Amino acid sequence: MSQTLPSAGEDALTRAGTPKRAAVASFLGSAVEYYDFFIFGSAAALIFPKVFFPDADTNAAIMSFATFGFAYVARPVGAMILGHFGDRVGRRKVLMFTLLLMGASTFVIGCLPDFHTVGWWAPVLLVLARLCQGLSAAGEQAGASSMTLEHAPDNQRSFFTSWTLTGTQGGQILAALVFIPVLALPDEVKYGIGWRIPFWLSAVVVVVAFLIRRTLHEPPAFEEARKNAEISKLPVADLLKGHWRDVLRVVACAFIAAVSTVFGTLAISYAKTVAGVDGTTTLWLVVGANLVALGTQPLFGKLADRIGRKPVFIYGAVASAILTPLFLLSLESHSIPLMFVAAIGFFSFGYAASNAVWPSFYAEMFSTKVRFSGLAIGTQARVPDGWLRPGHRGRHGRHPGGRLGPDQHLHRDHLRHRRRLGTHCQGVLPDPHQAAGFEVAPCRVQTGPVSRPESPPFPQMAGSPSLNLGQFVSWPLPPAGVQH
């Protein structure tokens, strides 16, 4: 693993930099970017199924999460484009562009018409705005990390760059705090104008961050490279030629970022639809864990400056793998203290270690002339599988391979029960599916043996989105309290 940052030879240039201002600007820029990013995630879980799709059912929830996933399609493309210009024209100019693009696309989302106004054009426009968010996010952290690292003293690089990712925690806290009062609004207000307010408020934060970021100058390392005519004409080509092994290392390590999305978005929907935890409680979990992470991440950065990046990063990855399923299980306990302890332990003392260290850990693998491209492409070259496949039922609601999901098993057992009783008309006996909150197709025969309808062969459960939380959940989930 190559460490190509100059050290002693650039001491004077580093001292001439402004590491504290760079860290503050990176913190605020990341806060803005991820405030916008996370309010979309919260809305995708709690609001969009009823606003941008015809029916607030399982399919609407799946399609809503699909719109969330479109940003991950745009990110690799944005990484190639923004990485090229970040290494060619400078970090600062690209960071100003990403800030304005994210702010504009988020504000536009708050102005979009709903499904009942323009039909399927509503989700189409939502996807287009989401793609713009993805393009912006592809360059924000790579650029901010590069700029902060190149301004920082050699012995404090991990500490100062940790503030870039600590800004994402600030953005997530702000997003959750803004959404909590929205969820308390009456439905007619919440699904009317209420959900739009957080998207419009992003404009205020963008203006503040823009005014601060525009005062920064290019890092000394980049200015020195430009002065010596060492700027690459084709940074991506040079990156793949001289640093392809480092790119692969970053791609492999960057899957740790999926933990943040699971915690900030998918866990909210999991808690609401499976565990029966109300949306306000889950948002307070996000706020509490991120508040603690605001303090622990800089400490992990300081630790990495003392003992090295690799051990701190590995600790965070292992802790995340162990604590993620425990956190999801705690949501089903309905014990609020236990949920908060699990959330803080998992996120603030586990994932926070890797999250604080990766900006310096990855950035130090690349030389100045390809650092922006290396960080952007390496961290965005993977598309998390679960984001684009919210459920993986096959045709007729079955799993691939012909296995039945829990709702199909329950339907089959119900039909057998009716056959034994010899009563086949809907309405003669209380329907246990309806009692459990399921949508049941009308009975198609009045007498004789019950035949399974041709289309659809099985009724669809209401209010039970098919979530794909990695290895933990991979089939349609019943409403809380339904026993099989």
The structural domains of the chain, ordered by start, are: 8-388 (1.20.1250.20)
Q: How far apart are the first and last CA of the chain?
A: 52
Token pair in block for residue 28: 């605020």
Overall average pLDDT of the 1-21 stretch: 54
The DSSP symbol for 334 reads T
Choose the weakest-confidence range: 96-100, 233-237, 275-279.
Answer: 275-279
- pLDDT of 133 reads 87
Token pair in block for residue 325: 């399923």
CB atoms within 10 A of CB 205: 20
pLDDT of residue 139 exceeding 50? yes
CB atoms within 10 A of CB 382: 17
pLDDT of residue 292 exceeding 70? yes
pLDDT in tens, 350-377: 999 999 999 999 999 998 889 999 999 9
Phi and psi based region of residue 480 (left: phi greater than 0; alpha: psi -120 to 50; beta: remaining): beta
Overall average pLDDT of the 233-262 stretch: 89
pLDDT of residue 462 exceeding 80? no
Sign of the four-CA dihedral 90, 92, 95, 96 = negative
- pLDDT of 81 reads 92
pLDDT in tens, 195-227: 899 999 888 888 888 888 888 888 888 888 888
- pLDDT of 373 reads 92
Choose the weakest-confidence range: 102-116, 131-145, 341-355, 450-464.
Answer: 450-464
Choose the weakest-confidence range: 68-72, 203-207, 252-256, 394-398.
Answer: 394-398
> Pseudo-torsion of CA 176, 180, 185, 190, nearest 10°?
20
pLDDT of residue 258 exceeding 70? yes
Rounded-to-integer distance, Cα 92 and Cα 401, Å: 52
pLDDT in tens, 20-35: 888 888 898 888 877 8
Q: What proportion of the chain, given as a percentage, has pLDDT over 90?
A: 23
Burial of 210 (0-12, 13-18, 19+ CB in 10 A): middle
φ, ψ of residue 429 to 5 degrees: the values are -115, 150
pLDDT in tens, 382-424: 654 444 443 333 333 333 333 333 334 333 444 444 444 444 4
Burial of 277 (0-12, 13-18, 19+ CB in 10 A): buried
Work out the mean pLDDT of the chain and round it to a whole number.
Answer: 76
C-alpha separations of 467 from 82, 252, 477 in Å:
32, 24, 8
Give the position of tokens 């010596």.
228
Closest residue by Cα to residue 362 from 243, 259, 264: 243
Choose the weakest-confidence range: 10-19, 243-252, 320-329, 459-468.
Answer: 459-468
Overall average pLDDT of the 85-98 stretch: 90
